[in-house]
């Protein structure tokens, strides 16, 4: 069942078994795990069923650190959340990413990849994806396509799964799962329902209720046995920080960790692989290709052993196949326009989404149809794991939104180690390009470039702000995603990631959500 919260009676108390705050990938997946279970589920979504300008303005942030563009647009605030805009890129974390390693401060998950493997498999089933462990060489051979002839113990080809031919054929969770949510008699989804506070009991480690407001002035509360905060990497932290009626510095913030360790995947466009003349483009790197395993695309990465050897953050390079022609110049202009447009805060969200969508389609058309008589250029778009940094953080602003709640302040910081990872990766790839006889690589990042990596941006992946650790002095949530010091509230989403690897986060978000749902089922049976 779906209810418009703007039609609710003031001061009503909704009682339920589990209250889920946020209807993005994590919130929807958890709700569906309880469909037809006999347990009563309440799902609260800030927005409606489609984009709404007034609601979207609630995403506005105050930026005080490194320039961080586009948060208001990169996180659509309506049913489905970020999946209304994601590119459908599905790849799991690597075993290395879960380990505590000496060269990455604050690294280490409370469990290894083996714990998540069955949940990755279930996540792929939910997304109608096949086995994510398909071998790039086998898939390339099936398609009659070539791979870079690099030694796999130096530079490896990794494969990602996509949900369609273009990166905007991805499943929109809001529209795709809306019917299942609406048809489940035990699930009630409230749209236009903004959580204004999470209220804990004064004398016990128990969340009592959540206060809900609409932009039209309605107010009501939800009281549950268990709560799941699944509002996104920025909003999760903001809601905990502003819920400060009992704990002055915010709910679950006994050790001043809420909002800290804000991480992104650093996106940095630098480096060109220039093959010898007469080379035919390696199309499996340039755009998703359809195989028996589904839609796949290859990227370059460093083997885990090499990452360990050189003690750097994890690294992946997506490849754009260009030719130095008029077509290529248009693609470059589209890329530059994207950076400029993201600075225009007044740009309508729908217009931005349309621009993003058709920019991708145009770019793929250019790649597919550009004249081949020109030399091929492989341009690297680098996705780098950001080193956890407690000074990179989300705080509350003195500015307030339309609900009279503090906006989020973002202070994003990139370190010298982040830059070092890109530099080492490029030198290793360049050496292998030359050793293999494939051609040469133009390393475009100068050694004396400022450590802030001028021109680098984020990939729209907001992680780490409620990080997971068994020790409450080093994490906001425990290994089961329960907030330390509280007995009935959990967090879902990439905000619990202690580290990020190079993998786009959505598949891991879903895997963790399914694991949390299993845990809650066990708790409910006690």
Q: Where are the domains of the chain?
A: 1-127+171-264+391-412+462-526
Q: Which of 202-216, 263-277, 437-451 has the lowest mean pLDDT?
A: 437-451
Kindly state the average pLDDT of the residues 431-457.
78
Confidence band (pLDDT; 50, 70, 90) for 74? confident
Kindly state the average pLDDT of the residues 245-251.
93
- Give kind and range of the element (H or E) at residue 24: none
pLDDT at 343 over 60: no
Cα separation of 171 and 505, whole Å?
15
Instruction: Report pLDDT digits (tens) over 495-506.
Output: 999 999 999 999
Cα separation of 140 and 152, whole Å?
15
> What pLDDT is stored for residue 358 in this prediction?
56
Q: CB atoms < 10 A from the CB of 450, how many?
A: 9
Provide the whole-model pTM. 0.90
Where would I find the beta strands (DSSP E) of 171-293? 187-191, 194-200, 207-213, 219-229, 265-275, 289-291
Q: Which two tokens stand for residue 86?
A: 């994601």
> What pLDDT is stored for residue 156 in this prediction?
97
Confidence band (pLDDT; 50, 70, 90) for 323? low
No. of helices (H) and no. of strands (E), the chain:
13, 19
Half-sphere exposure of 301 (CA within 13 A, CB side): 24
CATH architecture of 1-127+171-264+391-412+462-526: 3-Layer(bba) Sandwich (3.50)
Over the range 249-259, which residues count as b (16 or more CB within 10 Å of their CB) and which as e? ebbbbbbebbb
């Amino acid at each position: 069942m779906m209810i418009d919260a703007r039609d609710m009676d003031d001061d009503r108390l909704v009682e339920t078994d589990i209250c889920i705050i946020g209807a993005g990938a994590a919130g929807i997946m958890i709700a569906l795990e309880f469909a037809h279970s006999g347990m009563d589920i309440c799902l609260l979504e800030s927005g409606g069923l489609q984009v709404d300008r007034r609601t979207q303005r609630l995403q506005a942030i105050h930026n005080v650190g490194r320039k961080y563009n586009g948060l208001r647009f990169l996180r659509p605030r309506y049913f489905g959340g970020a999946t209304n805009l994601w590119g459908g890129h599905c790849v799991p974390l690597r075993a290395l990413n879960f380990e505590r390693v000496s060269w990455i401060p604050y690294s280490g998950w409370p469990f290894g990849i083996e714990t998540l493997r069955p949940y990755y498999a279930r996540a792929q089933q939910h997304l109608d994806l096949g086995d994510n462990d398909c071998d790039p060489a086998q898939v390339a051979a099936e398609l009659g396509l070539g791979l870079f002839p690099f030694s796999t113990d130096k530079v490896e080809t990794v494969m990602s799964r996509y949900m369609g031919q273009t990166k905007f054929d991805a499943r929109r969770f809001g529209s795709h799962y809306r019917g299942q949510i609406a048809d489940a008699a035990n699930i009630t989804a409230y749209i236009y329902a903004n959580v204004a506070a999470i209220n804990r009991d004064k004398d016990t480690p128990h969340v009592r209720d959540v206060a809900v407001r609409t932009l039209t002035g309605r107010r009501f509360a939800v009281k549950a046995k268990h709560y799941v905060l699944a509002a996104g990497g920025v909003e999760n932290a903001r809601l905990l920080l502003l819920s400060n009626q009992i704990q002055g510095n915010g709910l679950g913030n006994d050790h001043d960790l809420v909002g800290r360790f804000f991480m992104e995947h650093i996106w940095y466009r630098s480096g060109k692989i220039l093959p010898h003349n007469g080379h035919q483009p390696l199309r499996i790197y340039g755009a998703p290709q359809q195989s028996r395993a589904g839609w796949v695309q290859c990227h370059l990465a460093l083997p885990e052993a090499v990452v360990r050897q050189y003690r750097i953050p994890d690294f992946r390079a997506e490849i754009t196949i260009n030719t130095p022609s008029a077509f290529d110049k248009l693609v470059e202009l589209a890329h530059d326009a994207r950076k400029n447009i993201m600075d225009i805060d007044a740009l309508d969200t729908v217009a931005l989404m349309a621009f993003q969508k058709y920019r991708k389609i145009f770019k793929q058309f250019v790649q597919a149809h550009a004249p081949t008589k020109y030399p091929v250029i492989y341009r690297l778009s680098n996705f780098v794991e950001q080193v956890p940094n407690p000074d990179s953080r989300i705080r509350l602003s003195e500015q307030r939104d339309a609900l009279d709640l503090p906006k989020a302040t973002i202070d994003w910081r990139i370190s010298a180690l982040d830059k070092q990872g890109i530099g080492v990766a490029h030198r290793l790839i360049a050496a292998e390009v030359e050793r293999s006889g494939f051609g040469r690589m133009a390393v475009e990042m100068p050694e004396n470039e400022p450590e802030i990596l001028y021109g680098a941006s984020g990939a729209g992946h907001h992680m780490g702000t409620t990080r997971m650790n068994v020790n409450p002095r080093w994490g906001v949530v425990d290994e089961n995603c329960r907030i330390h010091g509280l007995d009935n509230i959990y967090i879902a989403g990439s905000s619990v990631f202690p580290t990020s690897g190079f993998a786009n986060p959505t598949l891991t978000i879903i895997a963790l959500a399914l694991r949390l749902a299993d845990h809650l089922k066990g708790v409910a049976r006690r």
